[in-house]
Structure 1
Amino acid sequence: MAGRIRDEDIALVRERTSIADVISETVTLKSAGGGNLKGLCPFHDEKSPSFNVSPARNVFYCFGCGAGGDAIKFLMDADHLSFVESVERLAGRAGIQLRYVEDGKPAPRVRQQQGQRQRLVAAHAAAVEFYTAQLGTAGARPAREFLAERGFDRAAAQRYGCGFAPDAWDLLTKHLRQQGFSHDELVTAGLSRPARSGSLIDRFRRRLLWPIRDLSGDVIGFGARKLFDDDDGPKYLNTPETPIYKKSHVLYGIDQAKREIAKQGRVVVVEGYTDVMACHLAGETTAVATCGTAFGADHIGVLRRLLLDSDDVAGEIIFTFDGDAAGQKAALRAFEDDQRFVGRTFIAVSPDNMDPCELRLAKGDLAVRDLVARREPLVDFALRHVISRYDLDTVDGRVEAMRRAAPLVAKLKDAEKRPEYVRKLAGDLGMEIEPVQRAVLAAGGAPAGRERPRSAPSREPAVDSPQSMVEREALKLALQEPVLAGPMFDAVGADEYRHPVHQVVRAAVTEAGGVSSATGGAVWVGRVQDACADLAAQALVAELAVEPLRIDGEPDPRYVSITLAQLQWGSVTGRIRDLKSKIQRVNPVANKDEYFALFGELLSLEQHARALREQAAGGL
């Protein structure tokens, strides 16, 4: 267990980080008035800026897509880092030495572990410099010819950091040892390996190399392509498993593709390094590839995070496989993984059985883009492949094809599509719908034709109603001006809020310690977000933290008093209406005690409403 960062250190990182400086590295920010900044959102396409930054509170929020949070959250979303990685990066910028705890106790070894990663990454960075320099030497001519023959010029080689491992046993090892890297570090990094003689030699020799980077852009390994016939090694040789290189998690090209994947909501999965290069250079900038291993569950996890793959945001996953038997087998394996995605899965197969690199070389960039544009649903490809194995001119062939294809339809995650695919399969097989439908049901699918239950219509008050607007204003005061709002806000409980999400946020304020205990800024906003019981409330907190108050100039205690009075008046008048309706339904003769009790409560509420109305006079 690596341990977690101490809460005090996280708070210090937030306090010493300028969110405007962090975001300005990727977004051009301009004044939005009131001390706030705005720019074009990095998380979705837009023509008018809706991305707002509040330097005073160290938070951001996009009114277009709902992304929001502090500097830590921005790095997590923009660079697809974990929470810990984001904190560590910001701590490095601010010169803060982080402390870690493990089971409530100090974890001194964690800093050593972090130092090891930094050393291994530094060794790989030095190796990239060495290998790229070697690509220009006379001995690297076969490597340069390999790239040129596939349509990659010098600029492309430089863009992807291509290099060459020279015809020497320990040239890289000696170079890195001279730079201060130890024997154990080079072996642990997978850059060197012990020889039979006991000396240390380079892992890669006489090969074309591609540096493999993680999501943050750090080089963590290499892929090496065989160039010479007398090389008795495999066609491709990759870095072995190391503390920083886990092949089941690694996707080549992810560092260059991640922003476009998140922006476009789709990813193109190809099979090799040159295919990624070809796709990117042809304009398909979301392409990635696995590194010497099959596409699996961990890769899916990485892509789902990039795609924001959820019920609300369903992206596209497009697989490109060769049309040969191996490619078709890989496509069917991909269909098995289809259920792990919420988004739609497709396959793109060249009619000439060419991979993207071959296609670009033979027919140009447009052909690569057309390949992706002509994608078809993966289930269609899988069904066609399965039934093609059987003789559909015979009864036995049709029945067996139905039995093999029915489980594919039953596995469809979107149950509403199953009836259509039952009909399609029946047509392809030349059979009646009923036996195919029974086969799908027997295979475990939901009853074909049954509609998905629909949620009941929402009874929430309109977001732009007067009551909702004043509730928002009160919550904005709590988040943006806690010192000012203080006890006045805390005295008004969550039951005075009518909108369900507002009620959740108000409860979170209490859970976070109450406004009276807060001093403001990103730390306070983060505490409230962490206390929210659902994602909608968390998003609303980020939005309200930067939304301007509905007042010209600076707020004062009187404005807080007026806002809270308006909030309570709206709630009280609602209860008065409910009480009057209830009184009208009570028989004053048969239920005299109940009637007078309700009437007394009504008089008390009306008196309270008059007092609130006077307090709120002259408000918004």
Structure 2
Amino acid sequence: MAGLIHPEDLETVRERSRIDDVVSSFVQLKPAGGGALVGLCPFHDEKTPSFRVTPSKGFYYCFGCGEGGDVIKFVQQINNMGFTEAVEFLADRVGIQLRYTDGDGGPRHEPGLRMRVLEANQLAAEFFAAQLASPHAVTGRVFLDGRGFTREHAEHFGIGFAPRGGRDLLNHLTAKKFTRDDLVKAGLVRESGWDFFQGRLVWPIRDAGRSTLGFGARRLFDDDRMPAKYLNTPETLVYKKSHVLYGLDLARTHIGKKNQAVVVEGYTDVMACHIAGVDTAVASCGTAFGADHSRMLSRLMTSDALAGEVVFTFDGDAAGQAAALKVFSSDATFTSQTYVAIEPTGLDPCDLRIQGGDAAVRELVARRVPLYRYVMKNTLEKYDLDRADGRLAAVRAAAPLVASVRDRSLVSEYLRELAGMVGMDTDTVRAEVQRANNRKVAPEPERGLRQEAPAEPAASGQVAMMELPDPSDRRIATERGVLKVMVQHPSLFPEDWGGITADDFQHPSYRRVFEVLTATDRNVGGFAQAVVDGMDDPVGQQLVVALSVEPLLAEPTGAYAREYAARLRLAHVVRDINDLKSRLQRTNPVEDQANYNRMFAQLLELETRRRALEQHAVGS
């Protein structure tokens, strides 16, 4: 079994893989002086180039989203690969045969195989697409027509037809000088020599760079020996179902531009959405949407986590509710806000387009609601919120949902939402959530309404350490960024630190650093070290050290500091606006007119403050 890549080969791959050559395959680069090249960042949407490549150093860096690294890191990110896969990809590209240590010394696959597999897939996609116009594919064309898709739609999405002969693709590609072994490894041909796809409609599954990784195929004929309605390419060197999303090649630019991704269930649903104008739609292929998929979408979003959206479409039945709960359990893997779009009739986007037209599909997405609110609402609907005991029971039922959130920076927001939905004091709700956190084993629902497990006291002398925030968490990137400027260049800020307060920080560790930082004399020599010394927690000290050495995104100036401070305060105001809007929606303007008017006036004031901060945040 192959082991680690030999260090000499690793360095050879780096040397021969010029970063400007590799990056220019995905990004249009232009000279920027000093030997550097610039272009539009492939990892977030932007109009002004902030993506910089320095060939002499072998590095890239985006001043807009902070992504950066060497040529291997770029391939990892752009192709969603692991480190070893990225090195092997580059080795194939430049013709290097890798050696492996701590193993048998042999390569994981023969040199050049990855490129041959991709080339075979591309030729297979062209072959299938041409076959769709043949007389043998009339059943497939009838199916597409019945789903509301035209010939132009089929061409746009690259839909094809796999002939029923059994060896048509094998014969076609062997004539192109591919060996049968290559085609088996590409998942196009079975070990027995038969074509993997026979008598089916075929959708090419491409990566963000439009390379064909594999295929998805739908059953058309009753005598198909494969009973599954949909069949996907088996796991191959380039096709891993947990790392691919159908429609990503078409949706990628739009996801970055609109800062939104819509996740649907099937190929025809993706097509229906794109045709209807929801051009950010994607779907998982042969597996449930998972953490790897969420990370793929996160890299395409902009750095503004407050604006980013991932919208899931589910049926309104019990199965749809269960799917929503499953996604909610992994909510912390998303850097953007998660939403759910439910069609009350139970129609999927494709059927909805057939019955209601393009506008109905757009309306489905427009009616999206926050995922956690949907899950909470379904939980609370089981209780009588007009009774005091019903409200308490509802909170206790919903508390484990809040307690299960792994991103602790979101808990406060969820607590406020839950308190507003049931009409209870936030402190009471917080206490119930804390009890849910302290339970070692969740009780049965009926018993949970009556039993309360007291919080276990900390062991003697035990100190609860701070939580070290994830530096790559884009939801709180502004908090980290402004603290870096404060620690490294405190003199850039006015006496009041640009109007920033501790409440502007969602993450408790960032909040604690700010509290210590503002209590430290900024005129003292070695300010960063003084802040480190002021932290009474080893994790907090580690965090301050990291903040003091991490690079800034731009040259530190007074204007830069003011804009950063405004961005942080803006995020707080946006959260307050969303909270107030939520409370307004739950308030009857007729029955509680005074309270409704008071909150509406507050909303107007917050909106005015938001507009002012938006201008400050961009330097106006």
Alignment TM-score > 0.5, same fold: yes
CA distance in 2, matches of 1:421, 1:373: 21
Residue number in structure 2 paired with 1:577: none
- Residue-by-residue CA offset, 1:244-280 (whole Å, 9 max, x unaligned): 4433443222344345445654432110011222333
CA distance in 1, matches of 2:181, 2:40: 47
- CA contact under 8 A between 2:80 and 2:296: conserved in structure 1? no
The residue number in structure 1 matching 2:317 is 324
Partner SS state of residue 225, structure 1: strand
- 8 Å contact kept, 1:422–1:437: no
Query: What is residue 420 of structure 1 aligned with on the other side?
Result: 416
Matched residue SS, 2:343: coil
The question of 1:371 aligning with 2:364 is answered yes
Q: Which of 323, 326, 342 is the aligned partner of 1:333?
A: 326
What CA distance in whole angstroms lies between the structure 1 residues aligned with 2:172 and 2:214?
17
User: Structure 2 CA distance, aligned partners of 1:23 and 1:293?
Assistant: 31
Partner Cα distance (1:305, 1:409) in 2:
26
RMSD: 4.3
How far 1:347 moved relative to its partner? 0.6
Letter in 1 for 2:273: C
Equivalent of residue 409 in structure 1, options 402, 408, 412: 402
1:143 match: 140
- By relative contact order (CA 8 Å, sep 6+), the higher-ranking structure is 1
- CA–CA distance in structure 1, aligned partners of residues 300 and 396 of structure 2: 37
User: Residues 110-189 of structure 1 correspond to what in structure 2 (within 5 A)?
Assistant: 110-112=108-110, 115-179=112-176, 185-189=182-186
1:444 maps onto 2:437 in alignment: yes
Conserved in 2, the CA contact under 8 Å of 1:132 and 1:163? yes
Matches within 5 A, 1:212-231: 212-214=205-207, 217-229=210-222, 231=224
Q: For the structure 1 residues 25 and 396, does the alpha-carbon distance in structure 2 shift closer, same or farther, using more than 3 Å as the test?
A: same
Distance 1:166 1:65, change over 3 A: closer
Q: Which runs of 4+ in 1 moved over 6 A?
A: 311-314, 391-399, 431-435, 445-448, 452-457, 497-501
**Secondary structure of 1:339's partner?**
helix
Q: Report the Cα offset of residue 336 of structure 1.
A: 1.7
Preserved CA contact (<8 Å) 2:52 2:62: yes
Query: How far apart are the structure 2 equivalents of 1:536 and 1:366?
Result: 51
**8 Å Cα contact 1:5-1:98 kept in structure 2:** no
For residue 376 of structure 1, what is the amino acid of its counterpart?
A: V
Q: What whole-Å deviation, never above 9, does each CA across 1:46-86 have from its counterpart, x for those lacking one?
A: 44444444444444444444344444444444444444444
Identity among equivalent positions (%) equals: 49
Please say which of residues 269-278 and 185-194 is displaced more in the overlay: 185-194
Give the secondary-structure state (helix, strand or coil) at the position aligned to 2:332: helix
Query: What is the identity, as a one-letter code, of the residue corresponding to 1:108?
Result: G
Tell me the distance in 1 between the aligned counterparts of 2:218 and 2:367: 30
Residues 417-566 of structure 1 mapped to structure 2, 5 A cutoff:
417-427=413-423, 438-444=431-437, 458-462=486-490
TM-score by length of 2: 0.63
Size of the aligned set, in residue pairs, is 467
The SS at the match of 1:444 is helix
State the distance in 2 between where 1:39 and 1:187 align: 39
Counterpart-to-counterpart distance in 1, 2:187 and 2:31: 49
AA aligned opposite 1:349 = I
Residues in 2 aligned to 1:441 and 1:261: alpha-carbon distance in whole angstroms = 37
Shift of residue 181, structure 1, vs aligned partner = 5.0
CA pair 213-499 structure 1, distance change in 2 beyond 3 A: farther
Aligned to 2:231: 237
* 8 Å CA contact 1:66, 1:539 repeated in 2: no
Distance in 2, matches of 1:535 and 1:217, equals: 38
Change (3 A) 1:408 1:62: closer
1:382 deviates by 0.9
Deviations 1:340-376 (A, max 9, x none): 3343221112344332223344444454344333321
Q: Which secondary structure state, in structure 1, belongs to the residue aligned with residue 261 of structure 2?
A: strand
Change (3 A) 1:271 1:227: same
**What CA distance in whole angstroms lies between the structure 2 residues aligned with 1:86 and 1:440?**
44
Q: How does 1:595-606 map to 2 (within 5 A)?
A: none
Distance in 2 between residues matched to 1:111 and 1:242, nearest whole Å: 11
Alignment TM-score, normalising by the size of structure 1: 0.63
Give the match for residue 98 of structure 2. Answer: 99
Q: Contact 1:411/1:445 (CA < 8 Å) preserved in 2?
A: no
Q: CA deviation at 1:224?
A: 1.6
Query: Unmatched 5+ residue regions in structure 1?
Result: 466-496, 502-532, 545-620
**Which residue type is aligned with residue 253 of structure 1?**
G
Q: Deviations over 1:172-211 (max 9, x none)?
A: 34444555555555555443447xxxx6433333221112
Aligned partner (choices 96, 108, 125) of residue 106 of structure 2:
108
Match in the other structure for 1:202: 195
- Where structure 2 has 5 or more consecutive residues not aligned to the other structure, the ranges are 440-453, 456-465, 468-478, 494-524, 530-544, 556-620
Structure 1 contact 120–185 (Cα < 8 Å) conserved = yes
Secondary structure of 1:202's match? coil
Distance 2:42 2:183 in 1: 38
Q: CA deviation at 1:433?
A: 7.1
Report the Cα offset of residue 381 of structure 1: 0.8
| Cα separation, 1, equivalents of 2:118 and 2:30 | 36
Contact 1:274 1:357 in 2 (8 A): yes
- Corresponding residue number in structure 1 for 2:287: 293
* Alpha-carbon contact 1:131-1:163 (below 8 Å) kept: yes
- Matches of 1:47 and 1:339 in 2, distance apart? 29
Q: Compute the displacement of 1:410 (Å).
A: 2.7
Distance 1:106 1:464, change over 3 A: farther
Deviations 1:527-561 (A, max 9, x none): xxxxxx96985756x989xxxxxxxxxxxxxxxxx
Q: Residue in 1 aligned with 2:510?
A: none
1:236 alignment partner AA:
Y
Distance 1:67 1:27 in 2: 14
SS at match of 1:201: coil
